[in-house]
Amino acid sequence: MSYVKRFGVVCAVVLLVLISRSARADEWDQLMVFTFSAPVEIPGVVLPAGTYQFKLADPLSDRSVITVLSADGSRVYATIAAVAERRTTPTDDPVVTLEARSKGSPQAIDTIFYPGEAIGLEFLYPQHRADPSTGSR
């Protein structure tokens, strides 16, 4: 009977460890899901209206590269270099800020912030994509 109890305790501990790791998975890679009602631009791609996953491309080594995936994570739309951007007050929800573009062009994603973080990531757009009518990047 002692063997059965030990086995049960070991299984319970393993289960608790696995549950705690999966609960932190979103924090580790900073997975955020955004839904857009109109097309939006990210560097190099215009995403049609829809739902997308944004997460760190390589959480272990580089926390300034974002991967943008389809809602189910099966398709990669882009891998984007970004720079740190600070805000004054963190929020409980993920935040995306959009940059207005000229009439007829989709709005562009400027920054994203993971919930509870005061430092987010600003997307870097090529200089040749600058919009002279708005003074935007």
* pLDDT of 10: 38
Task: Quote the pTM value.
Answer: 0.70
Rounded Cα gap, residues 95 and 13, in angstroms: 36
pLDDT of residue 84 exceeding 80: yes
* pLDDT of 128: 57
Higher pLDDT residue, 11 or 128? Answer: 128
* pLDDT of 119: 92
* pLDDT of 23: 31
Backbone region of residue 53 per phi and psi (left: phi > 0; alpha: psi in -120 to 50; beta: other values): beta
* pLDDT of 29: 83
pLDDT of residue 12 exceeding 60: no
* pLDDT of 6: 52
Question: Mean pLDDT, the chain, as a whole number?
Answer: 78
Q: Above pLDDT 70, what percent of the chain?
A: 71
* Nearest in space to 123 (alpha carbons), one of 67, 61, 48, 72: 67
CB 101 within 8 A of CB 136: yes
* Nearest in space to 68 (alpha carbons), one of 121, 128, 23: 121
